[in-house]
């Protein structure tokens, strides 16, 4: 049984990764309904929280149907991070996660996200002080290191554990790699196989099929998988992996009608949460995956990613559902 603090997650849990402009409440809810064991929010700036920035505060919204849910925050200033902890606690999440892995330049240049991998002592201090500040379990998400010459992830993980973190998720790339090349799970496995490690070690990066999830579990011996890009426009992925774990067989892929119904539900939930303009705009990134591999669908997808009007989208979904209601499952 894998546990984060006192939260029981079963054997080899599947976690929805924190993704900017993706892991919002509507998408988290859809992933939760479709098998995600833990969901994490988009990463939230500690500086934005303590300054009451609208966008940062809005990301604190969590709902009962998402639980267990973790709120992820980032920053490099200890005082700001501690104040952010106090703000986050009031929203009553199940977990607080620290982002030590975001590779984006605007985050890194401030010494936050993956930028802190240049200062392991500070990384440990921030974790330790944040653990002291809250009764909630604190977890950490990080990368292998800043670049290939500075990889110290086994030591880093030990120090994060000793600072009081209840779990660590490791993306199998360095900051220098960004999202290029292949994730190196061997180094994550070295962390897990370190006899001093007692907390769960979750793998992240390139878990893009049920077979890869099985490999992460059985070959590399990790405690769970954190799913990122494979879930975008594909909230079914979590249940697909779980079905494969149980049977060794793939589930039938969703029909075109089921894809349309999910995309419509996603859009309506997004509009309800963030309003017409953003609801339409920020759901676009999912449509390519919702309708991947469907022949002769490009003209419909082009409408979905260009229109600014929800009425036009909903009418299109309605018309297409009627058209494809009796369509067979895709091969």
Question: Which sequence positions are flagged as catalytic?
Answer: 102
Contact 286, 263 (CB under 8 A): yes
Phi, psi of 14 (to 5 degrees): -110, 125
Q: Classify 187 as helix, strand or coil.
A: helix
- Which residues are 99's β-sheet partners? 141
Q: How many residues does the chain have?
A: 331
Give the integer Cα–Cα distance in Å for 243 and 51: 45
**277, HSE (Cβ side, Cα atoms, 13 Å):** 0
Q: Say if residue 15 is exposed, middle or buried (CB neighbours under 10 Å; 0-12, 13-18, 19+).
A: buried
Q: Comparing C-alpha atoms, which of 67, 18, 65 is closest to residue 45?
A: 18
- Residue 181: left if φ>0, alpha if ψ -120 to 50, beta else—which one? left
DSSP code of residue 91? T
Give one DSSP letter per residue of 247-305, joined into a string: HSSPPPPPPHHHHHHHHHHHHHHHHHHH-HHHHHHHHGGGHHHHTTT-TT-HHHHHHHT
């Amino acid at each position: 049984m894998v546990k984060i603090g006192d939260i029981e997650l079963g054997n080899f849990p599947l976690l929805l990764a924190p993704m900017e402009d993706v892991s919002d409440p509507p998408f988290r809810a859809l992933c939760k309904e479709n098998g995600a064991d833990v969901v994490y929010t988009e990463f939230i700036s500690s500086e934005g929280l303590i300054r009451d920035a609208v966008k940062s505060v809005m990301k604190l919204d969590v709902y009962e149907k998402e639980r267990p849910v973790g709120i992820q925050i980032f920053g490099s200033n200890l005082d700001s991070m501690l104040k952010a902890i106090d703000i986050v606690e009031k929203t009553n999440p199940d977990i607080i996660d620290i982002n030590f892995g975001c590779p984006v330049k605007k985050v890194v240049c401030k010494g936050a996200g993956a930028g802190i991998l240049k200062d392991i002592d500070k990384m440990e201090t921030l974790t330790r002080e944040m653990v002291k500040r809250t009764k909630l379990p604190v977890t950490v998400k990080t990368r292998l290191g800043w670049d290939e010459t500075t990889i110290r992830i086994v030591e880093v993980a030990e120090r994060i554990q000793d600072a009081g973190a209840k779990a660590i998720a490791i993306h199998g790339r360095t900051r220098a790699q960004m999202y290029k090349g292949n994730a190196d799970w061997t180094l994550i496995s070295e962390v897990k196989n370190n006899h001093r490690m007692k907390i769960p070690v979750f793998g992240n990066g390139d878990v893009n099929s049920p077979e890869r999830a099985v490999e992460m579990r059985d070959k590399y011996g990790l405690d769970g998988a954190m799913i990122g890009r494979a879930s975008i426009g594909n909230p079914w992925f979590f249940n697909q992996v779980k079905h494969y774990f149980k049977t060794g067989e793939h589930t039938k892929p969703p029909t075109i009608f089921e894809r349309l119904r999910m995309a419509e539900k996603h859009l309506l939930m997004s509009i309800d949460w963030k309003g017409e303009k953003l609801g339409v705009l920020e759901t676009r990134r999912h449509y390519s995956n919702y309708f991947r591999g469907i022949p002769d669908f490009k003209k419909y997808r082009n409408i979905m990613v260009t229109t600014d009007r929800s009425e036009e989208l909903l009418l299109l979904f309605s018309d297409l559902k009627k058209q494809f209601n009796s369509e067979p499952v895709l091969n």
